[in-house]
Amino acid sequence: MASRLRGYLSQKLGASHIDIAEIRPLSGGAIQENWLLSLHITGGIFEGAQRWVLRKDAPSAVSVSHSRAVEFAVLSHAFGAGVAVPEPICLCEDVAVLGSVFFIMRHKSGLAAGHKLAGDPVFKQGSKQLGAQLGREMAKLHLAPSNPALEALLAASPLSPQQQQLHEMRGYLDALGTGQPVLEYALNWLEDRLDIWQTDEAKVLCHRDFRTGNFLVEGEEMTALLDWEFAGFSDRHEDIGWLCARCWRFGNPHLTVGGLAPFAAFQEAYEEAYGQPIHLLAMACWQVMAEIRWAVIALQQANRNDSGAEYSLQLALSGQMVPEMEYHMLGLIDEIDQDKWQDDRQ
């Protein structure tokens, strides 16, 4: 791996010599592989010591995930818009180099593991500072100007984001070939209530996996938003509902924003930066959809193991988390129906 990578990078970056001091896998990334590279480059535009991350395809893929080439394009667009992301370095689509498409980005410091962050005493009562920054960064993403090339890559659906999600989730469930009555009930509930969460707003670029575990935190600051493999044009409330979904709170259910921050700090910063208020009922319904979508992804991950495509205890255990998501979605549905939903005040 090292020799092929060294040859590719030397040619790509115009370097006269590259010394690779370290290549090691990074933890996390159940859907893609991430490798830390420590290099010393002689010549070219990146001369000197470098710490980069190489991101490549896993042995098998989840159907809802973008290719690395598309993910690199979205990452580059977000970087150009000033969103806090790692600097993209290069994309390699020649599978002869490492056996699959990969891209390289600059390494950023910080911790991503949700259970560790949520267990840190700094976040036990919630960080208003982090909540406000997350609001500003999300607003910056949603305000990022689009372009025809990006729109062509992400192929925005003519359906509304709500209708598209309902359609996709039903399709993924059908493809799994197993009965999922709670998920089907929740999808029917959302479809019957399109009028309360379908807004007239234009679609914006959304991360669509903006949650604790997919951004790096150092102190009380987010240093980088990672994992752009699900990005697309959608209703901005999809990102808000996903970040605030109950499945991403890691033992801090009282902290709406990813188990790390109170909602008020996020809401104030987001609305000031974006220039429009958050539609709270739409957010609540997107929280229900977030639980459905994460349950579907968990089932797909488990299927990767069960099918023999990629044996992994982590993937196998993903399927065991589905009842927790079902519990969350049924609770949310009951709260919304009874007008007792409280997340906007936490």
Q: Cβ–Cβ contacts within 10 Å for residue 140, how many? A: 17
Q: Domain limits at 43?
A: 2-10+19-106
- Residue 345 buriedness (CB in 10 A; 0-12 / 13-18 / 19+): exposed
pLDDT at 31: 64
Query: What does the DSSP 8-state code read for residue 244?
Result: T
pLDDT at 157: 85
Q: Are residues 168 and 226 in the same domain?
A: yes
Query: What does the DSSP 8-state code read for residue 20?
Result: E
- Strand intervals (E) in 167-268: 204-206, 215-218, 221-225, 232-234
pLDDT at 74: 97
Q: For residue range 62-115, what is the model confidence (pLDDT) as tens digits? A: 556 789 999 999 999 999 999 999 999 999 999 999 999 999 999 999 999 999
Q: Are residues 119 and 149 in the same domain?
A: yes
Q: For residue range 269-287, what is the model confidence (pLDDT) as tens digits? A: 999 999 999 999 999 999 9
Of all residues in the chain, what percent are helix, strand and coil, respectively (each to 5)? Answer: 50, 15, 35
Q: Are residues 251 and 291 in the same domain?
A: yes
pLDDT grade, residue 2 (50/70/90)? confident
Question: Is pLDDT at 344 greater than 90 in this prediction?
Answer: no
Of 54, 74, 106, which residue sits at a domain end? 106
Q: Are residues 86 and 168 in the same domain?
A: no
Distance CA 128, CA 110 (A): 18
Of 106, 127, 147, which residue sits at a domain end? 106
Please answer whether residues 42 and 17 qualify as being in contact, where contact means their C-beta atoms are separated by less than 8 angstroms.
yes
Q: Looking only at Cα atoms, what is the longest distance across the chain?
A: 67
CA torsion, ordered 77, 222, 112, 320, to nearest 10 deg:
-80
The number of angstroms, rounded, from the C-alpha of 171 to the middle of its chain's C-alpha atoms is 21
Q: For residue range 223-258, what is the model confidence (pLDDT) as tens digits? A: 999 999 999 999 999 999 999 999 999 999 999 999
Q: Are residues 162 and 306 in the same domain?
A: yes
The set of residues, in sequence order, having a beta carbon less than 8 Å from that of 192 and lying 6+ positions away, is none
* Residue 35: its H or E element: strand 32-42
Q: Given CA atoms 241, 247, 248, 253 in this order, what sign does their dihedral have?
A: positive
pLDDT at 30: 55
Number of domains composing the chain: 2
pLDDT grade, residue 190 (50/70/90)? very high
Q: Are residues 40 and 97 in the same domain?
A: yes
Give the domain CATH number at 171. Answer: 3.90.1200.10
Q: Say what the pTM is.
A: 0.93
Question: Structure tokens of 203?
Answer: 């679609």
- Residue 190 buriedness (CB in 10 A; 0-12 / 13-18 / 19+): buried
Give the domain CATH number at 31. Answer: 3.30.200.20
Please answer whether residues 171 and 202 qualify as being in contact, where contact means their C-beta atoms are separated by less than 8 angstroms.
no
Mean pLDDT over all residues of the chain?
92
Q: Are residues 42 and 184 in the same domain?
A: no
Q: Cβ–Cβ contacts within 10 Å for residue 276, how many? A: 11
Q: Are residues 93 and 148 in the same domain?
A: no
